[in-house]
Amino acid sequence: MTDPNDDLFAPGSRSIVRCGSCARAADGTSESCACGGLFDVLHPRPAVFPVPTGHNSGVWRFGDLVMPGASTPVSWPEGRTPLVEREAVRSYANVGQLWMKHEGMNPTGSFKDRGMTAAVTDAVRSGATAVACASTGNTSASLGAYASMAGLRALVFVPQGKVALGKLAQATAYGAKTLAVRGDFDAALDLARAASRQLGVYLANSINPWRIEGQKTIAWELLEQLDWNVPEWIALPAGALGNTSAFGKALREARALGRIARVPRLLAVQASGAAPFATAFAERFSRRVTVSAETAATAIRIGNPASWDRGVRAIRETDGVVVAVSDGEILDAKAVIDAAGIGCEPASAASVAGVKALRAQGTIGPDDRVACVLTGHLLKDPDAVVAYHAGGSRLSNPPVEIEPDLRAVARILEAR
């Protein structure tokens, strides 16, 4: 008889890395399995869900279920991000309760730092001298910072002309070599994977299973902040599906170890111009969909999500939903989040826009409690803010040019 937990935990006393499709063990030299599947990390089964330690890092305080035995993690430190509520955002989405888990408060301004601390720690212990990633921007910023801390060379492959200014500035400033690929993210990822296979650089994209291990801690920290009272929904933006996969694995492990009795439903939100996963969900995942992606939310401008199978598993196991929202809905939600004094980058606001859309169609109930993950900081994409507020939307708030004259100031105060 097979143990139902075979799938979740390693059989022996050490963590193992094996293919999620054919279960072949990773040999440590390839970024994915010969069968085309992606590798997963399995840890030995602890007796109970480990009590988080007092570690400064919100990732390494869960170290026993991230990378047991990692003695010298490459850590900023990261995580321990705030969970906040604002009435303006709750009423905009029209749900019973709404929390925002602000992952933009990580050291490089996005949730990627949680995965990167684990991946770069693994790169160092496996003797890598150079690391690489393809990125829509945030992963490259994060890899730049962590590679610099570890003293590794970093190569980042980004889609030329399609990366937000803040992210490009970060990668350059942290010392990563930026390669602007004449193509989209999907082409950049193909190139980075080939470079990893043929030139031996360590690949730090979210197909790397250690990235998933680090990112699981977003879900655990969020639930801990709710005193482990599981909300009805957790909403997050979805691109390559690494984070969706991480949330699925975190919830699966927390339930298997008895930390939670039920899992929240995951709501993965895509931009309508980059929505292969939402299209496939509507067809009950009967086929793998790819598209040529276009959206103002450049972080999730991805047409061929790499973590497809594990993303599907996360949605199925949580009775989850995948939805697409327009760029207009994303940018309006962002303006509400921004004006509430919180702020996030465009892709992050897809979470709140998706909640609003599902509430309007009745899938999310009026009393449901929803946690939205804000994946990146407002300052990542200043051009998006300037462009939005220059437009004529109801929420737009453009700067006004005035003479250095007090009467001009008085006129502005009166107009309000």
Residues near ligand F0G, by CB under 6 A:
110, 112, 135-139, 206, 237-244, 299-300, 345, 347-348, 375-376
Rounded distance, CA 334 to CA 350, Å?
A: 8
Q: What secondary structure does DSSP assign to 50-113, as a single string?
A: PPP---SSTTGGGGGGTSTT-SS---S------EE--HHHHHHHT-SEEEEEEGGGSTTSBTHH
> Which lies closer to ligand F0G via its Cβ, residue 257 or residue 297?
297
Contacts (Cβ under 8 Å, ≥6 apart) of 344? 102, 104, 334, 337, 338, 374, 375, 376, 377, 378
Rounded distance, CA 139 to CA 226, Å?
A: 28
The closest of 41, 53, 163 to 110, measured between CA atoms, is: 163
Structure tokens at 233: 């929904």
> Which lies closer to ligand F0G via its Cβ, residue 219 or residue 257?
219
In whole angstroms, the minimum distance from the beta carbon of 62 to ligand F0G comes to 19
> Which lies closer to ligand F0G via its Cβ, residue 9 or residue 211?
211
Collapsed DSSP state (helix, strand, coil) of residue 193: helix
> Which lies closer to ligand F0G via its Cβ, residue 120 or residue 257?
120
Collapsed DSSP state (helix, strand, coil) of residue 389: helix
> Which lies closer to ligand F0G via its Cβ, residue 114 or residue 257?
114
In whole angstroms, the minimum distance from the beta carbon of 344 to ligand F0G comes to 8
Element spanning 384, H or E: helix 382-390
Contact 101, 218 (CB under 8 A): yes
In whole angstroms, the minimum distance from the beta carbon of 215 to ligand F0G comes to 8
Structure tokens at 254: 């927390």
Could you tell me the CA-to-CA distances from 365 to 4, 213, 323, 370 in Å, in that order? 33, 32, 16, 10
> Which lies closer to ligand F0G via its Cβ, residue 136 or residue 196?
136
Could you tell me the CA-to-CA distances from 252 to 49, 206, 264 in Å, in that order? 12, 19, 11
Answer whether the bond into residue 77 is a cis peptide, omega within 30°: yes
Q: How far apart are the first and last CA of the chain?
A: 72
Could you tell me the CA-to-CA distances from 128 to 29, 31, 41, 75 in Å, in that order? 10, 13, 19, 17
> Which lies closer to ligand F0G via its Cβ, residue 257 or residue 374?
374
The closest of 64, 63, 21 to 39, measured between CA atoms, is: 21
> Which lies closer to ligand F0G via its Cβ, residue 241 or residue 370?
241
In whole angstroms, the minimum distance from the beta carbon of 284 to ligand F0G comes to 21
In whole angstroms, the minimum distance from the beta carbon of 322 to ligand F0G comes to 11
Collapsed DSSP state (helix, strand, coil) of residue 196: helix
In whole angstroms, the minimum distance from the beta carbon of 238 to ligand F0G comes to 5
> Which lies closer to ligand F0G via its Cβ, residue 116 or residue 257?
116
In whole angstroms, the minimum distance from the beta carbon of 341 to ligand F0G comes to 19
> Which lies closer to ligand F0G via its Cβ, residue 161 or residue 399?
161
In whole angstroms, the minimum distance from the beta carbon of 375 to ligand F0G comes to 3
> Which lies closer to ligand F0G via its Cβ, residue 42 or residue 384?
384
Residue 310 burial (CB < 10 Å; 0-12/13-18/19+)? buried
In whole angstroms, the minimum distance from the beta carbon of 5 to ligand F0G comes to 26
In whole angstroms, the minimum distance from the beta carbon of 288 to ligand F0G comes to 15
Query: What b/e string do you get for 191-229 counting C-beta neighbours within 10 Å, with b at 16 or more?
Result: bbbebbeeeebbbbbbbbbbbbbbbbbbbbbbbbbbeee
In whole angstroms, the minimum distance from the beta carbon of 143 to ligand F0G comes to 9
